[in-house]
Chain A
Amino acid sequence: MSINLDQALQTFIVEAHELLQVMEQSLLQLETEPADQDAIGAIFRAAHTIKGSAGLFGLNPVVSFTHIVEDVLDRLRDGSVAVDSRLIAVLLKCGDHMLELINVVASRGEPLQPAALEREAALREALSTYQAPHHTPDTGAQHTEAGAADRANAPAEVLWHISLRFGVDVFRNGMDPLSFLRYLETLGQITQVTTLTDSIPALDSWDPESCYLGFEIELRSTASHATLNEVFDFVRDDCDVHIDAIDEASDSAVSIGSELVAQAEQGPLTASVQRLPAASEPKTRDGNYVRVNADKLDELINLVGELVIASAGASLLARSCNNDPLQEATSTVSGLVEEILDGALHLRMIPIGDTFNRFRRVVRDISQELGKDIELTISGAETELDKTVVEKIGDPLMHLLRNAMDHGIESADARRAAGKAGKGHLSLNAYHDSGSIVIEIADDGNGLNRERILEKAQERGLVASGAVLSDQEIYNLIFEPGFSTAEAVTNLSGRGVGMDVVKRNITLLRGTVDLDSRPGQGTVVRIRLPLTLAIINGFLVGIDTSTYVIPLDMVQECIELDEHQRQSSREKGYLDLRGEVLPLVDLREHFSHEGSAGRRQNVVVVRYAEHKAGLVVDDLLGEFQTVIKPLGKLFGALRGISGSTILGSGAVALILDVPALLNQIVQLEARTPQAPYSPTVVAR
């Protein structure tokens, strides 16, 4: 039989990754609470399930290694092996190796590299000390079908005589005698069946739930005696079976298997079996979930995006027709489309918790490596984010965590000298904040060295000397490209990757990062990310005949510029907004539009994180649900533009990258030597 299991194999790979993560979490849990039976149960189940499923796909390297791990875990479960830190360390490494096995053997279908095989040998060695003394190595995969082999060796057709006497309980055990006869038919040709009704009792003592039947069967088949015997495995307790070959020539039955096969093999029922604790673990994998290929989801969202555009086009047309019923109909459609869009986007959202939990291991390993005692607290794990964002945020988070542990948190001695607890604390937190998601990484270490950062920045020409900067602005300088993190600022040197890379990765996700630090008390890094990458609520503005989109969540207000204000603001480059200095960016000038400005101009006040500025445009065109189309490779280097979209009319509009736009202007100002650094961008 050929059954295509490719898809199931993909499920297995995903599932194995999840299980290994559960295993790791539980091992870490066990490290803090060695008596936690639930954790032990969960670890055992993870290994057990991986082994079982890997066998289905014939992944023998996975099965054979996992078998040993399972063996040790079984002994851990029944108490013959005690939990200690060495065992946990070995088991964590086993988890890593299983992951590698699954990645290499299952995903890519390749054999392991020699280096990995060496690691495996070392792990097997380490595990062997925990195994039972008379352990018989068992690959767990060697029981191939004995029946199949038999069939191959016995091609000759034989006439078999089968005597069957079913026990009274056979129905109650869920067995139907008839189905066994039907199954026999698949093995050969039944030439004769005689039903024996001798044991049917008198009507008054007849129990309709009991079976009183027997059969004498003649079967012509190429199957072997063992194969036929196997057919009755499930009714062995409830049935007497005799299987004999009939020598057709002499017509006398030669008894091959005359012994009663009943009760032949059952193991002792008294064997003590330890029950798994019915774990109260959260329902991580529920039967109600459907696994969907992420590509299919993307395709769906893309289509829904097109639908949004098409529906906007229809609405526009309807309005121009001046037909009320038509307008009503299109507005109903738009409403529904918007709901579909929300629903579709929600499909891509996954909780950040899995990513967070992965860091427990990282923190444990690094803190051991550094000889520091550091505890990680996680909150907001249920916060949901776009799948792509969750996948891509891992690396920057890792880098920030490493930095915090390596350079933020001091050694235990230094901490005690500063009057703090010897144990350092790290926390990861995620929460919603006005249309975006914020991830906070906080440590209670020594904080940043404000003076050294400023000194360094001036040395590198990032800041004009004599400039007055707020603490916030100084701390954020460490994210600047070219800000060497190597020697000078000892408490924030990275591992070859600068903080600017962290920032760049986050910016690519349309997010921002900023940082807050208190000397002696610690540092908080805040990453602000958009809820989704596919669609934004946009605000349309016009310059000449072109249309631009400003993300709506950044728009604060709109102001009309009168002739007088235009004059003065053009000279000064800023506007007096109710007593506040609002720097202006003239988009017409910025994007080099030709022609002169119209008679009326408007200012769109945008805010991003701490910064505020005014964008000078010609027309305000209102809100628009914007499906983001990425710019082609050719335009990848363009700054100030983050993508494009198609309007209902079919025209293309560029989406403004407000953070980059603001940043660009800040840098321009800071690098102009004549002008002493005046904060172009005003803190709120």
Chain B
Amino acid sequence: MAKNVLVVDDSSSVRQVVGIALKSAGYDVIEACDGKDALGKLTGQKVHLIISDVNMPNMDGITFVKEVKKLASYKFTPIIMLTTESQESKKAEGQAAGAKAWVVKPFQPAQMLAAVSKLILP
């Protein structure tokens, strides 16, 4: 069965681009529009990898990562942060929270795929 990737971003075009790229490589994609929405999508199905933006309404990415790390069943789930080059401090904060991987926006779909495939196989 294909692995589930949860894509959390308030921009639907980003979700769509990531979704197209990942699906083309054989991953299954679940979308969420902010941290709160994403937490809801973690229950009831197994998510194998999380890709999350930092700046989002309702619950930002850093808080979301901290919440994920509290969940026993997602202890070992890799998390990729979407950062921008002007947000070095956010990257560090994300890593401290437990999101060790990152992709810098704007990215090419191929870059995203490379990052994902370092962490899990489809």
* Partner pick for B12 among A145, A237, A267, A285, CB 8 A cutoff: A285
CB distance from A252 to the nearest CB of B (A): 30
* Listed stretches A46-54, A295-303, A435-443, A500-508; interface member: A46-54
User: 0/1 per residue, B79-122, Cβ < 8 Å to A?
Assistant: 10010111011111101101011101111111101110111110
Asked if A651 is at the interface (CB within 8 A of a chain B CB), the reply is no
* Partner pick for A63 among B55, B89, B106, B121, CB 8 A cutoff: B106
| B114: nearest chain-A partner, CB-CB | A183
> Which residues of chain B are within 8 angstroms of A5 by Cβ–Cβ distance?
17, 20, 109
- Chain B, range 25-68, C-beta contacts under 8 Å to A: 31-33, 37, 53, 55-60, 62-63
CA distance A279 to B57 in the complex (A): 6
| A174: nearest chain-B partner, CB-CB | B78
User: 0/1 per residue, A191-227, Cβ < 8 Å to B?
Assistant: 0000000000000000001000000000000000000
Asked if A286 is at the interface (CB within 8 A of a chain B CB), the reply is yes
Instruction: State whether A267 touches B91 (Cβ < 8 A).
Output: yes
CB distance from A464 to the nearest CB of B (A): 60
Given contacts A3-B24, A174-B119, A180-B118, contact A275 B100 (CB under 8 A): no
Given contacts A1-B109, A8-B16, A175-B78, contact A278 B33 (CB under 8 A): no
Instruction: State whether B12 touches A174 (Cβ < 8 A).
Output: no
Instruction: State whether B109 touches A45 (Cβ < 8 A).
Output: no
CB distance from A144 to the nearest CB of B (A): 9
Instruction: State whether A183 touches B16 (Cβ < 8 A).
Output: no
User: 0/1 per residue, A520-535, Cβ < 8 Å to B?
Assistant: 0000000000000000
CA distance A259 to B110 in the complex (A): 29
Which of A41, A209, A281, A287 has the most chain B CB atoms closer than 10 A to its own CB? A287
CA distance A58 to B109 in the complex (A): 12
CA distance A291 to B15 in the complex (A): 13
* Partner pick for A271 among B33, B92, B102, CB 8 A cutoff: B92
Question: How many A-B contacts are there with CB distance less than 8 Å?
Answer: 169
Instruction: State whether A287 touches B118 (Cβ < 8 A).
Output: no
CA distance A45 to B24 in the complex (A): 29
Report how many residues on chain A are interfacial, defined by Cβ distance under 8 Å.
69
CB distance from A405 to the nearest CB of B (A): 33
* Partner pick for A235 among B16, B100, B120, CB 8 A cutoff: B100
Given contacts A176-B120, A287-B33, contact A269 B92 (CB under 8 A): yes
Instruction: State whether B59 touches A186 (Cβ < 8 A).
Output: no
Instruction: State whether A173 touches B98 (Cβ < 8 A).
Output: yes
CA distance A287 to B58 in the complex (A): 13
Asked if A567 is at the interface (CB within 8 A of a chain B CB), the reply is no
CA distance A269 to B62 in the complex (A): 14
| A286: nearest chain-B partner, CB-CB | B33
| B14: nearest chain-A partner, CB-CB | A53
Asked if A90 is at the interface (CB within 8 A of a chain B CB), the reply is no
Asked if A231 is at the interface (CB within 8 A of a chain B CB), the reply is yes
Given contacts A15-B13, A266-B95, contact A143 B100 (CB under 8 A): no
| B112: nearest chain-A partner, CB-CB | A56
Instruction: State whether B85 touches A45 (Cβ < 8 A).
Output: no
CB distance from A25 to the nearest CB of B (A): 14
Given contacts A140-B85, A174-B100, A235-B100, contact A52 B33 (CB under 8 A): no
Asked if B77 is at the interface (CB within 8 A of a chain A CB), the reply is yes
Instruction: State whether A138 touches B98 (Cβ < 8 A).
Output: no
CB distance from A162 to the nearest CB of B (A): 14
Given contacts A45-B55, A234-B101, contact A269 B76 (CB under 8 A): no
CA distance A56 to B88 in the complex (A): 19
Asked if A12 is at the interface (CB within 8 A of a chain B CB), the reply is yes
Instruction: State whether B100 touches A291 (Cβ < 8 A).
Output: no
Instruction: State whether B100 touches A175 (Cβ < 8 A).
Output: yes
> Which residues of chain A are within 8 angstroms of B73 by Cβ–Cβ distance?
none
Asked if A268 is at the interface (CB within 8 A of a chain B CB), the reply is yes
Instruction: State whether A1 touches B119 (Cβ < 8 A).
Output: no
* Partner pick for B85 among A138, A179, A233, A279, CB 8 A cutoff: A138
Instruction: State whether B108 touches A145 (Cβ < 8 A).
Output: yes
Asked if A359 is at the interface (CB within 8 A of a chain B CB), the reply is no
| A5: nearest chain-B partner, CB-CB | B17
Instruction: State whether B76 touches A174 (Cβ < 8 A).
Output: yes
> Which residues of chain A are within 8 angstroms of B93 by Cβ–Cβ distance?
269, 273
Instruction: State whether B10 touches A45 (Cβ < 8 A).
Output: yes
| A186: nearest chain-B partner, CB-CB | B117
Instruction: State whether A273 touches B58 (Cβ < 8 A).
Output: no
* Partner pick for A53 among B11, B91, B111, CB 8 A cutoff: B11
CA distance A5 to B100 in the complex (A): 28
Instruction: State whether B11 touches A15 (Cβ < 8 A).
Output: yes
Chain A interface (Cβ < 8 Å from any Cβ of B): 1, 3-5, 7-9, 11-12, 15, 41-42, 44-45, 48-49, 51-58, 63, 67, 70-71, 74, 138, 140-141, 143, 145, 171-176, 179-180, 182-183, 186, 209, 231, 233-235, 237-238, 266-269, 271-273, 275-276, 278-279, 281, 283, 285-287, 291
Known: A53-B11, A141-B106. 10 other contacts (CB 8 A): A1-B24, A11-B13, A52-B53, A56-B17, A174-B76, A174-B78, A183-B118, A267-B91, A269-B92, A269-B96
Closest 3 CB pairs of A and B: A55-B106, A174-B78, A12-B13
- Of the A-B pairs whose beta carbons lie under 8 Å apart in the complex, a sample of 6, sorted by A's number, is A52-B106, A171-B76, A182-B117, A234-B115, A267-B91, A278-B60
